[in-house]
C-alpha cells in the first residue's frame, strides 16, 4: 500500500510540476497576478508530494519490504540501519528520486524566501525550475519506477554492494546531488533573466548565494568521494581521473568560474552575459554528469545501445535543456545591456583571467572524458585516457591560475596598481621561495617539480593571509585597531581568504602524495617484519572477526619507529556472505603530516600473507584543505550582505479587467 | 588605453589561452592514451614490447599461481589465444578465475605480459565491456544481460 501511495504521489507531483511550469510563465508574460500567484503554492505542493514519495521509499527500505523490487535488489534484513537508509539512494531509481527531492526542495525555498524578488522574476524562476522537475519526474515514471512490486515476494534481499556500505560514501551522493541540483537554481535564474531581458545587480545578488551553496555542496561531495576512494580502495590514491569523478569535477570548475564572474556582475555590472552563459554551462555539465553516470554509457557505448530507454531519455533531457537554453541565450543575450568598462589590469581583469583559465581547464577534462566514448562510437577503437593525459593538460592550465590567485583580491576595481599589489605580496613571495629551497634541500632526490609545488602552496596560503593582513592594516596600525578592523571585516572577505588558503593546503597535499609516496609490497609470515619510510611493520598474527553482516580476516600489525612501539594497525579483509563479495579494509595511522597505510592481501601457499603498505606524505592535508575551502564557502554564505540589501518587493497590481 | 586596445588585449589573451589549451590537449592525446587489446589482437596485430597497453579477457580457470614475494601469475584468455601475465602486488577484491579482467602494463620480449595494474570490475553478472566485446568477436560470448551496467559500482571497484 505504501509503495502504491508513493508512486501515486510521484504522479501527482508530475501533474503539479506541469501546472507550475506553464501557468506562472503565462502569468508573468501577461502580468496577471492571479496566474503568477500559482507559482508559490505549486512549488510547495510539489515539494510535499516528492517528499512523501521519498519518505515512502525510505520506509520501505527501513522495514525491509522485499515485495518491492528495488528493496529486494539493494537491501538485506541483516544490514545495519544506516546502510538500509543509504541503500535508498545507492541505486539508480532511488538516487533519481533523491535528485528530484533536492530539486523540489530548492524550488520550495525560493517560493518561501523569495518574497523580495520581483514577482514576475520569481514566477519565471519557479516555472523554469518546474520544467526540470517535469523532465526528471517523467524520466522516473516512465523508465525508472522505484515502486515496482515483486510477486511472489522473496524472503530475503540480495544485499547492497559491500563497497557502498560505508559511512562516508553513504552521504556522498546527497552532497553531490545538492551541488548538481543547486546549479539548477542558478540555471533557472539565468533563463528567467534571459526571458525578462534584464540582468541587474539585484539579480546577481540572488544568484550568488545559490552558486555558493551549490559550489559548497559539490566541494564537500567531491572531497568525501575522494576521501572514501583513498581509505577504502586500498591503493593509497585519492583521485583517479575516472569518468565518474570527472563528471563531478567539471560542474565544480564551471561553478567556481561562475562564483567569480557573478562577483563582477554584481559589483561592477560587467560580464553579465558571460555570467549567464556560465550559469547555463554549469548546469549543463551537471546534467552531463548525471547522463554519464546514469545512462550506462560509461561502461560502454554499446551498453547504452543495448538498453537504450534510460540513456536516450536522459540524452533527450540533455539536448532539450542545453540546446534550448543556448538557443535562448543566442537570441536574447545581445539584448542585455553591458556596462562597467575596466582596464586589463584590474580586479575585473583578474577575475576574467580566472574565468578563462577555468574554462580551459573544464574543456581539457571534458575532452579527456568524452574523447574515448566518441572514438569508440565512431571507429570502435578502445582507448583509455588516464592520469598522464590530465597531467599534461589540466596541470599546466591550473598552475598559472594558482600563481594568480593571491594577486586577484589585492587588485582594485576598474584600474589597478600592480606595483602596490605586488608589494603587499612580498612576504608571501619570500616565504614561498624559502619553502621551495628548504624542500629542495630535504628532497633533492625526488621529482624536481615537487619543491615548486610546495612553494606554490605556501604562496597561496601566505598570499591569502596577506590579503587579510592588508585589509585590517596589521603591523601598520596599532594591534587594537587591527583587531577592531578584523571584527568589522565582512564575512565574505574571510570566506575568500579561507577558500584560497584551503586551496593552497590541498595543493600541498596533492604534491606530497604524488611526489613522495613510498610503497612496500611484501609477503610476511606471522612474526616477520618489513621496513617502510623508517617504520618497522611486524605482522603479529592473523585472526578472524565477525561483523554485523560480514566476517573479517584481521591482520594485527605492530608499528615501530627506532625501536619504539607507535601503534597497532588492524587491516581487514571482509567477506559479505549475502552479497558473495569481498572488500579490503585498509588500516590508516595518521600523525597529521603523513599517513601510514596498511593493506592485508591474500594468503600465499606457504602460509605467508601479502602485505601492502604506503607512507603518504601530507595526504591528510588534501581533505583538511578541502574542509577549509568548504568552511570558506560557509563563511561567505553567512555574509549579511547576501541577506540584506536585496531588492525591495515590487508589488504587481492585479491586471485591470478588460 | 583606448577601448579598441582594451578589446584587442582581451581577445589576444583569450586566444592565447585557448591555443595553449588546444595544443596541450592535442599533444596529450597523441602521447598518453592507452589502447585496449584482447589476447587475439596481441597475437594478430603484434605489440611492441614495452609499449603501454591494456590487455583484457577472462582469467583462465586454474591458471592463478602465487609466487614468492607477492608475485602472482595468471593467464588471460579469449578462448582463442592465451597470454601469461605476471603482477606484483595485491589483486583487487573482485579478481576471480573464470571472470573478466583488464591488466595494464606492457608485453615483454619473452611473450609474457607484465601488469602494474590489474582491474577487475564485475560480479556474477557484469563484465568489463571491452572484454565482453572481445569475447563476442571471437564467438565465445555467453549470456545476454551480462552487460547490464552497474552504474553505482562503476569506477569504484575498478582500481588496482
pLDDT digits (tens, 9 = 90+) for A239-279: 888 888 888 999 999 999 999 998 888 888 888 888 999 99
Q: Does A648 touch chain B (CB under 8 A)?
A: no
* Percent of chain A whose pLDDT exceeds 70: 95
Q: CA of A384: which chain B residue's CA is closest?
A: B34
* Percent of chain A whose pLDDT exceeds 90: 51
What sign does the CA torsion over B126, B128, B131, B137 have?
Answer: positive
pLDDT at A164: 76
Q: Does B90 touch chain A (CB under 8 A)?
A: yes
Q: Which of A52-66, A284-298, A375-389 has the highest mean pLDDT?
A: A52-66
Q: Exposed, middle or buried: residue A648 (CB in 10 Å: 0-12, 13-18, 19+)?
A: exposed
B residues 12-71 closer than 8 Å to A (CB): 13-14, 17-18, 20-21, 24-25, 27-29, 31-36, 54, 66, 68-70
Rounded to an integer, the average pLDDT of A138-142 is: 94
Residue A320 is classified by DSSP as I
Rounded to an integer, the average pLDDT of A449-476 is: 90
CB contact under 8 A, B28 and A393: yes
**What residues pair up with A538 in beta bridges, in sequence order?**
A529, A558
pLDDT at A377: 81
- CA A271/CA B79 separation, integer angstroms: 60
pLDDT at A408: 86
Q: Which of A161, A233, A344 is facing B152, going by the closest CB pair?
A: A161
Between A569 and B111, residue with greater pLDDT: A569
pLDDT at A342: 81
Instruction: Give A-chain residues touching B153 at CB under 8 angstroms.
Output: 161, 163-164
Q: Exposed, middle or buried: residue B100 (CB in 10 Å: 0-12, 13-18, 19+)?
A: buried
Find out whether A557 and A569 touch, Cβ atoms under 8 Å. yes
B residues 99-128 closer than 8 Å to A (CB): 104, 123-124
- CA A135/CA A317 separation, integer angstroms: 7
CB contact under 8 A, A164 and B152: yes
Residue among A623, A600, A609 nearest A234 (CA): A600
Span A611-657, pLDDT tens digits: 989 999 999 999 999 999 999 999 999 887 655 444 444 344 444 44
**Cβ partners under 8 Å of residue B94, min gap 6:** A581, A582, B120, B121, B122, B123, B157
Q: A249-263, A594-608, B88-102: which range is least confident on average?
A: B88-102
Rounded to an integer, the average pLDDT of A294-304 is: 62
- Residue B131's pLDDT band, with cuts at 50, 70 and 90, is low
* DSSP character string of A522-539: EEE-TT-EEEETTEEEEE
- Residue B154's pLDDT band, with cuts at 50, 70 and 90, is very low
A residues 363-392 closer than 8 Å to B (CB): 363-364, 367-368, 371-372, 381-386, 388-392
* DSSP character string of A422-480: HHHTHHHHHHHHHHHHHHHHHSTTS-TTHHHHHHHHHHHHHHHHHHHHHHTTTTTS-HH
**Per residue, what are the HEC states of A82-123?**
HHHHHCCCCCHHHHHHHHHHHHHHHHHHHHHHHHHCCHHHHH
- CA B87/CA B51 separation, integer angstroms: 17
Between A479 and A571, residue with greater pLDDT: A571
What sign does the CA torsion over B40, B46, B50, B52 have?
Answer: negative
Q: CA of B147: which chain A residue's CA is closest?
A: A303
Q: Which of A307, A523, A612 is facing B68, going by the closest CB pair?
A: A523
- CA A605/CA B67 separation, integer angstroms: 8
CATH tag, A1-160 = 1.20.120
pLDDT at B130: 63
- Residue A217's pLDDT band, with cuts at 50, 70 and 90, is very high
Q: Does A531 touch chain B (CB under 8 A)?
A: no
Instruction: Give A-chain residues touching B10 at CB under 8 angstroms.
Output: 344, 352
- CA B135/CA B124 separation, integer angstroms: 17
pLDDT at A356: 92
CB atoms inside a 10 Å sphere around CB B78 = 22
Q: A117-131, A326-340, A489-503: which range is least confident on average?
A: A326-340
Q: Which helix (H) or strand (E) holds B62?
A: none
Q: CA of B9: which chain A residue's CA is closest?
A: A344
Q: Does B94 touch chain A (CB under 8 A)?
A: yes
pLDDT at B124: 43
Span A350-371, pLDDT tens digits: 898 999 999 999 999 999 988 8
* Cell numbers describing residue A432: 614561498
Q: Exposed, middle or buried: residue A560 (CB in 10 Å: 0-12, 13-18, 19+)?
A: middle
pLDDT at B159: 30
Find out whether B98 and B140 touch, Cβ atoms under 8 Å. no
pLDDT at A363: 93
Rounded to an integer, the average pLDDT of A40-69 is: 95
* DSSP character string of A322-350: IIHHHHHHHHHGGGSPP-----SSSHHHH
Q: Does domain B35-137 have CATH number 3.30.465.10?
A: no
CA dihedral in degrees (A412, A263, A246, A393; nearest 10)?
A: -30
Rounded to an integer, the average pLDDT of B132-136 is: 68
Between A483 and B144, residue with greater pLDDT: A483
> What are the backbone angles phi and psi of residue B69, rounded to the nearest 5°?
55, 45
* Cell numbers describing residue A437: 629551497
pLDDT at B149: 33
Is the per-residue pLDDT at A131 higher than 90?
Answer: yes
- Residue A296's pLDDT band, with cuts at 50, 70 and 90, is low
Between A641 and B72, residue with greater pLDDT: B72
Find out whether A386 and A369 touch, Cβ atoms under 8 Å. no
pLDDT at A556: 94
**Mapping DSSP to helix (H, G, I), strand (E, B) and coil, where does residue A165 land?**
coil
Counted across chains A and B, CB pairs separated by less than 8 A come out at: 180
CB contact under 8 A, A389 and B150: no
- Residue A68's pLDDT band, with cuts at 50, 70 and 90, is very high
CB contact under 8 A, B153 and A341: no
Span A144-200, pLDDT tens digits: 899 999 888 888 888 777 777 888 778 888 999 999 999 999 999 999 999 988 888
Segments making up each domain of chain B, as ranges:
1-33, 35-137
Between A448 and A307, residue with greater pLDDT: A448
Is the per-residue pLDDT at B153 higher than 50?
Answer: no
Burial A426-435 (b: 16+ CB within 10 A, else e): eebbebbeeb
Q: Which helix (H) or strand (E) holds A289?
A: helix A272-294
pLDDT at A307: 60
B111: closest CA of chain A, how far (Å)? 22
Q: CA of B90: which chain A residue's CA is closest?
A: A601
CA angle A390, A234, A367 (to 5 degrees): 20
Q: How high does pLDDT run on average in chain A? A: 88
pLDDT at A412: 82
Span A406-456, pLDDT tens digits: 998 888 888 878 888 888 888 899 999 999 999 998 888 878 889 999 999
Preceding omega of A152 cis (within 30 degrees of 0): yes
Amino acid at each position: 500500500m505504501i509503495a502504491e501511495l508513493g508512486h501515486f504521489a510521484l504522479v501527482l507531483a508530475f501533474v503539479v510540476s506541469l501546472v507550475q511550469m506553464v501557468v506562472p510563465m503565462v502569468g508573468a508574460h501577461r502580468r496577471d497576478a492571479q496566474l503568477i500567484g500559482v507559482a508559490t503554492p505549486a512549488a510547495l505542493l510539489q515539494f510535499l508530494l516528492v517528499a512523501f514519495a521519498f519518505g515512502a521509499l525510505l520506509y520501505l527500505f527501513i522495514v525491509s519490504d522485499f515485495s518491492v523490487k528495488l528493496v529486494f535488489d539493494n537491501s538485506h534484513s541483516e544490514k545495519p540501519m544506516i546502510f538500509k537508509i543509504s541503500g535508498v539512494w545507492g541505486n539508480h531509481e532511488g538516487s533519481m528520486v533523491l535528485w528530484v527531492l533536492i530539486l523540489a526542495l530548492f524550488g520550495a525555498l525560493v517560493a518561501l524566501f523569495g518574497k523580495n524578488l520581483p514577482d514576475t522574476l520569481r514566477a519565471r524562476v519557479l516555472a523554469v525550475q518546474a520544467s526540470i522537475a517535469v523532465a526528471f519526474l517523467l524520466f522516473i515514471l516512465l523508465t525508472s519506477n522505484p515502486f515496482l512490486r515483486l510477486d511472489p515476494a522473496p524472503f530475503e534481499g540480495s544485499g547492497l554492494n559491500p563497497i557502498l556500505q560505508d559511512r562516508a560514501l553513504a552521504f556522498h551522493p546527497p552532497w553531490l546531488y545538492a551541488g548538481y541540483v543547486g546549479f539548477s537554481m542558478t540555471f533557472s535564474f539565468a533563463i528567467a533573466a534571459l526571458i525578462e531581458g534584464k540582468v541587474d545587480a539585484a539579480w546577481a545578488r540572488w544568484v550568488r548565494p545559490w552558486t555558493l551553496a551549490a559550489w559548497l555542496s559539490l566541494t564537500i561531495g567531491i572531497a568525501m568521494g575522494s576521501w572514501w576512494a583513498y581509505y577504502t580502495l586500498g591503493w593509497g590514491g585519492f583521485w583517479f581521473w575516472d569518468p565518474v569523478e570527472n563528471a563531478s569535477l567539471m560542474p565544480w570548475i564551471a561553478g567556481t568560474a561562475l562564483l567569480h564572474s557573478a562577483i563582477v556582475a554584481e559589483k561592477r555590472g560587467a560580464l553579465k552575459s558571460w555570467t549567464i552563459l556560465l550559469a547555463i554551462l554549469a548546469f549543463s555539465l551537471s546534467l552531463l554528469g548525471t547522463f554519464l553516470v546514469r545512462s550506462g554509457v560509461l561502461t560502454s557505448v554499446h551498453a547504452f545501445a543495448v538498453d537504450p530507454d534510460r540513456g536516450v531519455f536522459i540524452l533527450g533531457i540533455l539536448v532539450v535543456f542545453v540546446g534550448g537554453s543556448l538557443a535562448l541565450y543566442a537570441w536574447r543575450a545581445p539584448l542585455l545591456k553591458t556596462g562597467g568598462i575596466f582596464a586589463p589590469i584590474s580586479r575585473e581583469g583578474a577575475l576574467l583571467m580566472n574565468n578563462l583559465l577555468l574554462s580551459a581547464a573544464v574543456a581539457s577534462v571534458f575532452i579527456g572524458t568524452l574523447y574515448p566514448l566518441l572514438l569508440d562510437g565512431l571507429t570502435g577503437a578502445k582507448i583509455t585516457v588516464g592520469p598522464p593525459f590530465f597531467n599534461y593538460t589540466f596541470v599546466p592550465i591550473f598552475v598559472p591560475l594558482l600563481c594568480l590567485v593571491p594577486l586577484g583580491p589585492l587588485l582594485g576595481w576598474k584600474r589597478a596598481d600592480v606595483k602596490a599589489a605586488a608589494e603587499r605580496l612580498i612576504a608571501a613571495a619570500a616565504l614561498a621561495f624559502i619553502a621551495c629551497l628548504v624542500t629542495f634541500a630535504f628532497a633533492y632526490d625526488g621529482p624536481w617539480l615537487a619543491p615548486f609545488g610546495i612553494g606554490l602552496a605556501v604562496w597561496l596560503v601566505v598570499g591569502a593571509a596577506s590579503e587579510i593582513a592588508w585589509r585590517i592594516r596589521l603591523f601598520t596600525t596599532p594591534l587594537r585597531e587591527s583587531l577592531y578592523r578584523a571584527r568589522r571585516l565582512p564575512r565574505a572577505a574571510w570566506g575568500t581568504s579561507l577558500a584560497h588558503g584551503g586551496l593552497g593546503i590541498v595543493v600541498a597535499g596533492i604534491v606530497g602524495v604524488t611526489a613522495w609516496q613510498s610503497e612496500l609490497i611484501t609477503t610476511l609470515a606471522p612474526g616477520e617484519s618489513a621496513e617502510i619510510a623508517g617504520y618497522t611493520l611486524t605482522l603479529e598474527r592473523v585472526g578472524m572477526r565477525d561483523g554485523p553482516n560480514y566476517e573479517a580476516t584481521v591482520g594485527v600489525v605492530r608499528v615501530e619507529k627506532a625501536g619504539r612501539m607507535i601503534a597497532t594497525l588492524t587491516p581487514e579483509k571482509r567477506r559479505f556472505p549475502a552479497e558473495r563479495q569481498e572488500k579490503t579494509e585498509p588500516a590508516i595511522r595518521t600523525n597529521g603530516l603523513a599517513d601510514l597505510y596498511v593493506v592485508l592481501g591474500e594468503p600465499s601457499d606457504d602460509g605467508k600473507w601479502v602485505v601492502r603498505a604506503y607512507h603518504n606524505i601530507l595526504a591528510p592535508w588534501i581533505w583538511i584543505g578541502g574542509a577549509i575551502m568548504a568552511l570558506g564557502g560557509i563563511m561567505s554564505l553567512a555574509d549579511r550582505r547576501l541577506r540584506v540589501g536585496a531588492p525591495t518587493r515590487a508589488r504587481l497590481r492585479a491586471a485591470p479587467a478588460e | 588605453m583606448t577601448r579598441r586596445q582594451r578589446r584587442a588585449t582581451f581577445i589576444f589573451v583569450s586566444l592565447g589561452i585557448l591555443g595553449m589549451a588546444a595544443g596541450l590537449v592535442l599533444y596529450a592525446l597523441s602521447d598518453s592514451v592507452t589502447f585496449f587489446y584482447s589476447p587475439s589482437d596481441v597475437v594478430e596485430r603484434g605489440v611492441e614490447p614495452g609499449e603501454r597497453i591494456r590487455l583484457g579477457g577472462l582469467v583462465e580457470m586454474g591458471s592463478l599461481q602465487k609466487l614468492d614475494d607477492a608475485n602472482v601469475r595468471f593467464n588471460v584468455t579469449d578462448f582463442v589465444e592465451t597470454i601469461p601475465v605476471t603482477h606484483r602486488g595485491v589483486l583487487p577484491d573482485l579478481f576471480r578465475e573464470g571472470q573478466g579482467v583488464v591488466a595494464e602494463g606492457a608485453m615483454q620480449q619473452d611473450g609474457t605480459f607484465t601488469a602494474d595494474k590489474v582491474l577487475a570490475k564485475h560480479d556474477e553478472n557484469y563484465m568489463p565491456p571491452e572484454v565482453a566485446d572481445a569475447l563476442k568477436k571471437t564467438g565465445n560470448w555467453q549470456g545476454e544481460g551480462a552487460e547490464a551496467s552497474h552504474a553505482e559500482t562503476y569506477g569504484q571497484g575498478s582500481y588496482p
